[in-house]
Amino acid sequence: MTDNQKRPILDENKIKQCHEIIDDLVKLYQDTDPAHGNKSEIDKKDKAHQALNKVGLLSGILTEWAENQIFGSCYRLAKSGKTTISANESNLHDNELMWYGNDIPEDAFSNESHLVCERVAIANILHNTFNKYGRMGWRLSLEQSLYALNEGQVDWLLEPIKTNKKGNAFDLDELKWAAVKHVYKLMGEGWKKTAARQKIAEECNVKFEAVKKWEQDCIKNRDSDKSTLNSLITGSQFIFHSKEFKCNKEAYQFALELRQSCDPSNPEDKNGLWLSYCMISCLKLEEEYPLKDMKSSLTEAGIRSK
């Protein structure tokens, strides 16, 4: 663990934000009550999304540490090679703090024993998060399915459906989406769209028309308002033209600090939050789907060569 790894500060602004989120959740609960008749049906699905997003934000502020502690404890168990570790080892602050910095272990959850512990951690978190609320049993079903996987059993919830597709269908879809996002990242760096598409086609070892088709499909199915793709242009422009970042790590740290300094309830901080989101989107794309690895990743997933 490096010296700069520490839990985000819960200052007065964050506490105030938590109270405001709770007030918003109470209002959404009241505004959508079926007892109010048809008028409470207006935008109800959108308000349902709002409520869950706000709960996620509240959880991110107040319980991220808890999830990190559980994942860290399970990672420590996987590293030990044992079936159990002591309570003292499970309770170490390091289990939480290891996830906040930029030096997360490269081998985290990379082999079979880590995978087993990853599933246990997720199941444990699901079991303790709103366990008895919402549609009956879905969290319990997922929890039990994850435990079953560790015994080699695939429950109905995790059984694949589109078994007639060629290759690793999910991985291919994710890689095609990443390729399209790389097009827009290059556009943020000043590339013309046609040139960017051609560059990505070459890096992916596919035809130009394939990338164009991927883009059409992804916009239709994933990003109809192009908000995600436009965010990549904005983030890439800022990072590419900024002279203060010597490396991606510095840019990522700047984006995190910018996000932490902004108050989501303050309209004046809206642009700062958007910029931090755009920058992080760009940096995560390069981290998770490096352009230099796209060809081999697509081949491994079962893409047909041009």
Residue at token pair 């991927």: 214
249-281, pLDDT tens digit by residue?
Answer: 899 889 988 888 888 778 888 899 999 999 999
Computed over every residue of the chain, the mean pLDDT equals 87
State which residues form the domain around 247.
169-301
Separation of alpha carbons 226 and 93, rounded Å? 41
Domain presence at residue 99? yes
Domain presence at residue 306? no
Domain presence at residue 7? no
E strand intervals along 125-177: none
Token pair belonging to 176 = 């095609």
Amino acid identity, residue 132? K
Task: Count up the domains in the chain and report the number.
Answer: 3
Domain presence at residue 224? yes
Question: Which of the listed residues 62, 79, 96 is the one where a domain comes to its end?
Answer: 62
Give, in order, the Cα–Cα distances in Å from 306 to each of 8, 60, 183, 201, 210: 48, 44, 19, 10, 9
Share of the chain above pLDDT 70, in %: 92
Separation of alpha carbons 169 and 301, rounded Å? 8
Alpha helices in 189-269 (DSSP H): 193-204, 208-221, 227-241, 248-261
pTM: 0.60
Separation of alpha carbons 195 and 198, rounded Å? 5
Let me know whether 175 and 204 are in one domain.
Answer: yes
Question: Which of the listed residues 62, 84, 101 is the one where a domain comes to its end?
Answer: 62
Let me know whether 182 and 124 are in one domain.
Answer: no
State yes or no: pLDDT of 290 exceeds 90: yes
Quick one: pLDDT band at residue 102, thresholds 50, 70, 90? low
- What is the rounded average pLDDT of the residues 122-138? 75
Separation of alpha carbons 127 and 275, rounded Å? 35
Residue at token pair 């819960």: 10
